[in-house]
Amino acid sequence: MRARLPDNAWSAVAVAAVLIAVFLAVRFAMVGGPSSFVVAGDDYVDASSAPAELAVIDGTGYDGQFIYRMVLEPFPETTTGHGITFDSSAYRAQRVVTPLLAWTVDHVTPAGPALSLLLVNVVALLLGAFFAGRLVRRLGGHVAWGALLVLSFATVIPLARDLTEPVAWVAALAGLELWLAGRRPWAALLFTVAVLARETSLLIPAGLGIWALLSWLRTRTDLRAVALLLVPLAVEVGWQLHLRSVWGELPVRTGKENVGTPFVGVLRTVTDVDGARAHPVWEAERLAVLALLGWAAVRLRASPLPGGVRLAWGISAVFALSLGGWTYDVQFLRAINEAIGLSLLVLVVDRNRISRLLVAGAVLLSLYVAWQYTTVV
């Protein structure tokens, strides 16, 4: 990779574009067009009332159906609309950025809601590859590894199912790159976008903010950095309070992730022998994540990552290891996306041999998961 690809951010974009194009072409051939990415199920979608373009399968479907509902109505005020019923209204309504962007595309182009939602995620990942490439190069690695940061086994599943992680993760990565480049107001804006796209994105500006606050307490300089990193938190608090006024409950309190004592739930899931036999790929993903987190922790001290980014990694890792369990991949890989992405960042800029082996393993696993999700509805 180092010998063949130019060391500029467009190399990461080129790699990401080729991989995304192949993935989409195969998935379209296997399971159908953009509507299949929504994964709408008749438990929550009334096919007779939903838009005609929407393919509805038997069963519960998946989260993309609720995001699709918000593409039709970005600021919903009723549990049921357009033939689609939220399972948890406040929880779904909080992640507004991805559907709002898709709503905009739908209204300025003839693409339609399903294709607009897919286009938003694809464009986001390409933009993310650009900023991730710059971030990796800034920290001493080859920019082409930026493609892995946005197309890892943790992010390819959200692409296949019209979920909110691509926009949230890309905004967080772009914010991180701009923050380290000294363009802090723009970084704060992008962190705010990331948090409104997915609330767990707050882990990254939280790490940077706590580090900035500690630095200010030591030196009494650069309080502006602390203030800027409070912006995403303040906006998210305001958004949560607004949604409580609409739905009668705070969305953050309706979250589906069960957080408890670190390691307990995760180790229980990983050591479930019957579960590992039933789903060997999921077990491989669990072990891969543990390997990435563990080795990133070992290499963190020697890493060129600034202190605030290291702290962000630590907060996201603790959150990941505190989940009640890593049950099935589309659940736990999404929930711990920040920890996986920051761990990969630690390792792709590390010249240690074990780090390189783990990165190579992450590439292979990402390709395999992508292949799996070309056929999974």
Query: Looking at the predicted structure, is the pLDDT value of residue 3 above 70?
Result: no
pLDDT tens digits, residue range 84-99?
A: 999 999 999 999 999 9
- Taking residues 147-156, report their average pLDDT: 95
- Taking residues 293-297, report their average pLDDT: 97
DSSP element (H, E) containing 91: helix 89-93
pLDDT at position 99: 98
What is the pTM (predicted TM-score) of this model?
0.94
pLDDT tens digits, residue range 249-281?
A: 999 888 766 676 777 888 888 887 667 666 888
The CA-atom distances, in angstroms, between 245 and each of 94, 215, 241, 321 are: 12, 37, 6, 33
pLDDT tens digits, residue range 61-84?
A: 999 999 999 999 999 999 999 999
pLDDT tens digits, residue range 17-58?
A: 999 999 999 999 999 899 999 999 999 999 999 999 999 999
Q: Measure the CA–CA gap between 110 and 135, rounded to whole angstroms.
A: 35
Q: What is the DSSP string of 102-144?
A: HHHHHHHSSS-HHHHHHHHHHHHHHHHHHHHHHHHHHTTS-GG
Q: Measure the CA–CA gap between 60 and 18, rounded to whole angstroms.
A: 33
Tell which wins on pLDDT, 222 or 79.
79
Under a CB-based contact definition with an 8 Å cutoff, are residues 62 and 328 in contact? no
DSSP element (H, E) containing 57: strand 56-57
Report the mean per-residue pLDDT for the chain. Answer: 93
Distance, C-alpha 260 to centroid of its chain: 22
Min mean pLDDT across 174-183, 188-197, 296-305, 322-331 is at 322-331
Q: Measure the CA–CA gap between 29 and 113, rounded to whole angstroms.
A: 20
pLDDT at position 262: 77
